[in-house]
Amino acid sequence: MLQENSSAPHDPPDPGSRAAGPPAPPAAALSAAALPAAAPSGARSTKPALPSLERTAPDPAPTRGGIVPSAPISPRAAALLASTAAEARAHAQRLRDLDRFHVDPSTLHPRAAASEQATAEAACAVALRCDIPRARRLIAQAHTAVTSFPRTLARLEAADLPAAWFTRILSHTRDLPAAILEEVDRAVSSWSLPTLPVAGFRRRLRLLVTALAQDRRPAPDPARQRTVTWRDPDLVEGTTTLEITGPTPEIIDVIDRLNRGARAVQDAQRHALAGGADEIPFDLDAQVEGTGMPMSLAQLRYAILVHSRIETGGVHVPSPRRRVNLTVPALTLMGRSNAPGLLEGDVPVDAATARAIAGRSDDWHRVLTDPVTGTFLNTPPARYTPTAAMIELTHLKTPLCAMPGCGRPSSGWYEVDHIEEYDHRRPAKGGMTTPENLHDLCTTHHRLKTEESVDPIRQVAGATRWRIGVDLTVDIPDNTDLATPETVPEFRDHLHHQALEEFHAPVRAVQDAIRDSQPPPY
């Protein structure tokens, strides 16, 4: 219920206190019906009930969020109001700028449109200094804002609502058809947004979207319902989270099968312990044997999940072209440093875990790096087809797709590519097959390079210069071993200490011999 609680009379509005603006469109019928005016209760108020929050005329005073314009306001609050309004205007302009990176697929052949859109996303990611998937989402949101919410976007440009409110509108309506988006735009743009408090805005938006969408929401897209993603690693805990999203019945069925399997294995472990069996089922790390306790259900659910066979419906899955790499500084292996290792050249692994993994491995490979910069040292030129050793070193140098902004790990489906194209007729003229001239690209960005939508040029200063479409050119420095510059001082101190020990050892031996040859004093 909306009602004035203060008993002070209203000040008459000052017609000259606000510049005249275009009248707002009439209030939507849905919104007016959702929030009827309420009569005061109890004692009769000296002031009338608040009018409906629908905007029917320009505000008599430049209020924001119900702030009384005639009351004093502190400089810090005034500055925050001004910066919030500036942020709203800047956000509106940013959305229009981002929409310029949207490629209309109806104007080009589908393949050409896909290539041009991918190139535009890469340029956008470089300009925003973000990864390509985020740039793709921002471009899609901006196109929706410009084409489906023109009225509300105009209110944003006028700073009648904060940028976060507009983002919430896009989030609540992202799966709705265009016809409903137009109705939402008409309704929201008719509200008295400058005077509307945040709680009122959220309630109105939820009610509006629910009422419009409940009978016309499209059937869920199975492709969008079923996804598997992972979050960035937790650098403190040394863990990574895998997220599986799908229709509720299917996920519940997976959970039920995991639970039944975990309980069955736990019962088998318990019986094996009670009967003194020589072999304990599913005791992968000898944890049950060491503790005398069965694994917890949570541990067993994880163990069953990660050790299950991946079913691909008979499709052959080729063996990986290379091993999984864990780069560990030599001093860390020796226990003289706690510098972390790098899994696949990108994910930090704490020193204890790195030593444990290395201790269980039978296959160690030495990688040489520059002791100051950590730059990976290259091997001599060989041939057009990279050797296995070259592929290993190339992956260490480009743990992610080399395309600026692409976050696809090169441990997945990638292609080793010549930065400067290999000249089959005159190999000595350039494009040699060396780690210096090789990088990893995902299939999408390898196709863009082949189509010459993007063009990398190798620089002499340890960087690659990328021309991205017609938008911009950017220099990307080579990936280096981050641990080397940190551990070199420790390694130098270790060698210095070892040299001193070797130098003083003969002197100490002589001193000990002399001491042993002298009789004790009497």
* Per-residue pLDDT tens over the stretch 452-467: 999 999 887 788 999 9
What is the identity of the amino acid at 522?
Answer: Y
Contact 396, 343 (CB under 8 A): no
For the chain, give the mean pLDDT.
77
Banded pLDDT at 112 (limits 50, 70, 90): very high
pLDDT at 14 exceeding the cut of 60: no
- pLDDT value of position 391: 77
How far apart, in whole angstroms, are the C-alpha atoms of residue 325 and residue 47? 74
User: What residues have CB less than 8 Å from 252, skipping those under 6 apart?
Assistant: none
- pLDDT value of position 279: 86
- pLDDT value of position 38: 39
pLDDT at 181 exceeding the cut of 90: yes
pLDDT at 177 exceeding the cut of 70: yes
Strands 242-245 and 326-327: unpaired
How far apart, in whole angstroms, are the C-alpha atoms of residue 30 and residue 257? 46
* Structure tokens given for 494: 């270790």
- pLDDT value of position 184: 95
pLDDT at 362 exceeding the cut of 50: yes
* Structure tokens given for 521: 């004093």
188 versus 419: the higher-pLDDT residue is 188
DSSP assignments along 325-343, one per residue: PEE--HHHHTTS----EEE
How far apart, in whole angstroms, are the C-alpha atoms of residue 218 and residue 227? 19
The neighbouring-strand residues paired with 442 are 414
Domain residues of the chain, as ranges?
77-213, 229-307, 326-359, 388-477, 487-521
* Structure tokens given for 390: 């070259």
Contact 186, 25 (CB under 8 A): yes
CA-based R_g, the chain, Å: 33
SS (H, E, C) 410-428: CCCCEEEEECCCCCCCCHH
By mean pLDDT, which of 9-23, 94-108, 214-228, 479-493 is the weakest? 9-23
By mean pLDDT, which of 15-19, 137-141, 430-434, 489-493 is the weakest? 15-19
How far apart, in whole angstroms, are the C-alpha atoms of residue 385 and residue 229? 33
pLDDT at 76 exceeding the cut of 90: yes
- pLDDT value of position 432: 75
pLDDT at 3 exceeding the cut of 90: no
Alpha-carbon distances, residue 178 vs 29, 137, 139, 172, 175 (angstroms): 20, 18, 17, 14, 9
Banded pLDDT at 182 (limits 50, 70, 90): very high
The neighbouring-strand residues paired with 465 are 457, 475
Alpha-carbon distances, residue 481 vs 323, 351, 398, 486 (angstroms): 18, 15, 11, 10
Give which of 466, 472, 410, 399 is closest to 124, Cα–Cα.
Answer: 472
* Structure tokens given for 119: 């190139």
- pLDDT value of position 213: 81
How far apart, in whole angstroms, are the C-alpha atoms of residue 439 and residue 435? 8
- pLDDT value of position 221: 67
Q: What percent of the chain has pLDDT over 90?
A: 32
Averaged over 436-465, what is the pLDDT?
A: 88
278 versus 29: the higher-pLDDT residue is 278
**H/E element holding 127?**
helix 110-128
- pLDDT value of position 235: 62
Give which of 182, 187, 194, 184 is closest to 156, Cα–Cα.
Answer: 194
Contact 337, 355 (CB under 8 A): no
Banded pLDDT at 170 (limits 50, 70, 90): very high
Averaged over 442-455, what is the pLDDT?
A: 90
